[in-house]
Structure 1
């Protein structure tokens, strides 16, 4: 299988043909036969994990997709691994109407509320002679630590790492890393509270 993939990747014409067979031109959703007959052999679903029937799974076999034990992806969400793998840990909830575009790694025991966008993808805009849609796609992984809570309508941008036990407030736009045991809010998001292990209290940050 690895040798076959190497041959395909090394031949631009063959790569285009295979890509067309997997995905209709200009679309992100894989063909039905890929979802039904191919993806189950490449992707991992943990015990008791659930992906609701109204979830749009734009996942392809050439990048990883994994969901851990007892995790749920709720209805009306979209998961896309076209430009990078998506890993969802154990006992993690992906709420309704979320968009997750790889490369994204989400830890165990994470809660992601409604209408959250998490994207490891960005579009280059360096060449002003071309429309942005024709320019290079760039990626940088998003990492979300275990035990964190991403509240409704938050946006997590490419390249961001969120530590363990972090709260991202509703509507926050996270463009920079957030260390563990913090609360971040605003646009762009800033740390507003931090857990003090000595006092065992959450303290405001000036």
Structure 2
């Protein structure tokens, strides 16, 4: 049995380790974790950049990988507390994005500004318990290679955005977006698809 499994299997030990890593009621790891633990656990590819004013709420018990040549711009928040955050090569995470795992972002993806990508939801159906005290539900978001997500979009838990797709500004993605598609609106709908036989983007009625 691995150390991680032993900790998970022992509620008292798990609580102690969690307290050592994160102050109670907070999401940001303690300073010692950020300075002395995370740099040796998480992967930063060659030429990758995390701007100084980015908030990195990453913890050692889930993965954080930033691919080579990728950049996370200032005022963004990245959180892997409830699931891995994997970002591929040559990808740009624009200013003021919020990325909450579990999330897989491919290669050469552009995320513009003020985008929320969250693989986390809160259970709410038991009306006898405050929502904040109910369990957390996670479902992985996948953004495949070569996508462009325009400003102010919201990507909800569990969806997949297919390769070389575009999400319009302010769109709320609640369902999968097929590869080579353009999605806009709230909730988002597909308005264009690339037709490989015609070699052109075709409007979807």
TM-score bin (small chain) = over 0.9
Q: CA deviation at 1:186?
A: 0.4
- Is the counterpart of residue 203 in structure 1 residue 202 in structure 2? yes
TM-score, structure 2 as length reference: 0.99
Give the corresponding residue for 2:45: 46
Give the corresponding residue for 1:150: 149
- 1:6-58 deviations in Å (ceiling 9; x for gaps): 22111111111110000000000000100111111211000000000000000
- Is the counterpart of residue 129 in structure 1 residue 133 in structure 2? no
Give the corresponding residue for 2:3: 4
Give the corresponding residue for 1:194: 193
Give the corresponding residue for 1:56: 55
Give the corresponding residue for 1:13: 12
Q: CA deviation at 1:3?
A: 2.6
Give the corresponding residue for 2:91: 92
Structure 1: gaps of 5 or more residues: none
**What is the SS of the residue equivalent to 1:97?**
coil
**What is the SS of the residue equivalent to 1:40?**
helix
**What is the SS of the residue equivalent to 1:153?**
coil
- Is the counterpart of residue 77 in structure 1 residue 76 in structure 2? yes
Give the corresponding residue for 1:185: 184
Structure 2: gaps of 5 or more residues: none
Give the corresponding residue for 1:166: 165
How far apart in 2 are the matches of 1:87 and 1:197?
A: 30
How far apart in 2 are the matches of 1:71 and 1:3?
A: 32
Runs of 4+ in 1 over 6 A off after TM superposition: none
How far apart in 2 are the matches of 1:73 and 1:22?
A: 23
TM-score, structure 1 as length reference: 0.98
**What is the SS of the residue equivalent to 1:57?**
strand
**What is the SS of the residue equivalent to 1:41?**
helix
Give the corresponding residue for 1:108: 107
Length, aligned pairs only: 205
**What is the SS of the residue equivalent to 1:133?**
helix
- 1:152-205 deviations in Å (ceiling 9; x for gaps): 000000000000000000000000000000000000001000111111111110
- Is the counterpart of residue 22 in structure 1 residue 21 in structure 2? yes
How far apart in 1 are the matches of 2:3 and 2:154?
A: 38
- 1:112-132 deviations in Å (ceiling 9; x for gaps): 000000000000112110111
**What is the SS of the residue equivalent to 1:152?**
coil
**What is the SS of the residue equivalent to 1:69?**
coil
RMSD value, Cα: 0.7
